Structures are given as C-alpha cells and as structure tokens.
Homo-oligomer: A and B are copies of this chain.
Amino acid sequence: MKNYADRLINAIEKKGNPCIVGLDPRIDQMPDFVQHKYKNQSISDRIIGAISYFHRIIINTIADIVPSVKPQIAFYEQYGLPGMKAFENTLVYAKEKGLITIVDAKRNDIGSTAQAYSNAFLGITNIFSKKVPIYDVDCITVSPFLGEDTLIPFVKDCSEYGKGIFVLVKTSNPGSGDVQDLKISESGEEIYISLAKLVKKLGKNLIGKKGYSSIGAVVGATYPKEAELLRELMANNIFLVPGYGAQGATGKDIVNCFNPDNLGAVVNASRSITYNYGPNTISETDFVKNIEKNIQEMIADVNGALDKKISFL
C-alpha cells in the first residue's frame, strides 16, 4: 500500500503545480445547459444528473492539469440522497481519471463513532461478515476539537490503507480565531500552535519516501503570518490551503505555506474556478474554455508567487 503523502507529492510533481479544484455543487448557480439537461426527468434524477454532469465536465477539463480534486460533502448533503448518489458518481469519475480525492468533511466524533466515519471514507466497514470499502477516498479533513483520542482511529486507517487526513489547525474564515487563536495559560501558545504540535506527533510514523507525512493540516491562505509559524513547526506535514480566490487570498498569500523546496502544500480554489463563468446562458464549449482559463490563471499566479518566493519572506 503506497503512502498517501508520496502519492500526493508525486501527482504534484507530475502536474507541475500544487493547485486543486474544489467541487461544491450549487445547482442554482450552474449554467443553463447543465440545469436543463435532465429537465424531463424526476426531481431526484435531475439532481443526480445535473451534479454528476457538471462535475464530469470539470473533471474532464482539469484531470490532466491538476493533481487533485476536493469535493465539499456539505454541498452534496444539502440535496439529500440524490446529492449523495451524485457525490459517489463524482468520486468514482475522479478516481477513474487518476485524480487524488480529498473529501472536505470536517468529520469527527468520539471513539467508536470516529471509527465509523473513518470506515465510511478511508477504511472498510464490516457488512454481513465481509470487509467492504465504502467511499474509499484518498483523504478527508477532520476536526481536532474532541481531542487526540478521537483522531487515532483515522490515523490508524491512514497507516493501514495508505490514506491521509488533513486536521483543521487554522481555518480560513473571519471567525477562525474565536477558538483557534486563544492563548493557553500554561504554555503561552495559541491553540493552533498546540494543534500543529499534535499533528506533527500524530504524523511522525507516516512519513513517506518524499519526506512528507500522510497526516497534514488545514491552514487558511487568509492568514499568511500564522502560516509562516506553522510551516516551521510542521516541516514534514502537508498543508491543505483553502481561502484562495473567492475568499480573497492570492498567490502572494500562499507562499508561506510552502517549504523551501516549493512543496508541502496544496492550494484549493472552488468557486473562482467552477462558478466564475459569466452569464448562465454560456455554451458547454465556452464553459470548458472558461474553466481552463480560470485554472491556468490560478496556476500561473501560484507558481509565479512560488518562483519569486524569496521576495515575500
């Protein structure tokens, strides 16, 4: 079973960039040609059809360009069971096209319940005495709020099944500091610093040949100062960096998330790649061209910033 971090770093090196595309199904914001494609079918089939088709086009367009996609499960879950069927379709297709699948789920719970989440996404579920992989993705995001013991089931499955997790350390939203920036009396350190040390500890036995661990951290592009500190603390952990694009961060904001080797992070953009296409009467051909343009602009911005990183440090 190949180490997840090695697989991700290989994909980044092969594609020549660390950009990943977030898949957030918002049907009402999809182009008309997608919304109308299944209009004579049942509501349930229209939902499955529209979401699956939309992501099929996107995946076809970006599969040779970027290393990975990040489906955000909340946007699928809001469409109920048809949404979850479309989630499964999207994952199957992304894997078929050779993309690394990172599910943004921010899951966690206590002991045996954390194990159930890990079964769903990373490991296997025992069903009628058979070991069955369920969504079987490469990686998910998890929350550390319930403590170290609740992360262990995920870490064990990462080891057993060659999978990865990104632990929330410093998220990209305006209020992320409410809990994450609180300074702890005993150590004088912020919570996010103490979580970084936990991530480092949890990941130390899962470092692959490329020098990176399968246990990574979510570090928002919107907090470059904190990212600089975190980069030093977690030299061997990969960062999943949200906040680029629609949330306001640009190339110069993400450079602190990378190591001197220009590795160690993947930068996600969702809306700015997939919903940034002008009027919704756009044709399928123009929509594809637009996705290509958006992702190439992002890659130029991110790789450009990394090339002259020295000037930002």
| Most B C-beta atoms less than 10 A away, residue of A46, A79, A104, A144 | A79
* Residue A74 CB within 8 A of the other chain: yes
In the assembled complex, A96 has its CB within 8 A of some CB on chain B: no
Tally A residues with Cβ within 8 Å of B: 69
Q: How far is the CA of A186 from the CA of B117 in the complex (A)?
A: 36
Against B, the Cβ 8 Å flags (1 = close, 0 = not) of A178-219 are 111011111010010011001000000000000000000000
- Which one, B46, B72, B145, B149, contacts A143 given CB within 8 A? B145
A35–B147 CB distance below 8 A: no
Selected contact of A148 from candidates B109, B120, B146, B175, CB within 8 Å: B175
Write the residues of chain A forming the contact surface with B, with a CB cutoff of 8 angstroms.
24, 27-28, 35, 43, 46-47, 72, 74-75, 77-81, 84-85, 88, 104, 106-111, 113-114, 116-117, 119-120, 125-129, 132, 134-135, 143-150, 168, 171-180, 182-186, 188, 191, 194-195, 198, 242
A selection of 16 A-B contacts at a CB cut-off of 8 Å is: A27-B128, A77-B134, A78-B119, A79-B134, A81-B85, A81-B88, A106-B107, A144-B145, A145-B168, A146-B171, A146-B175, A147-B179, A147-B180, A148-B178, A150-B175, A182-B182
Q: Which 7 A-B pairs have the closest CB atoms?
A: A147-B175, A149-B175, A147-B178, A110-B173, A145-B145, A74-B116, A183-B185
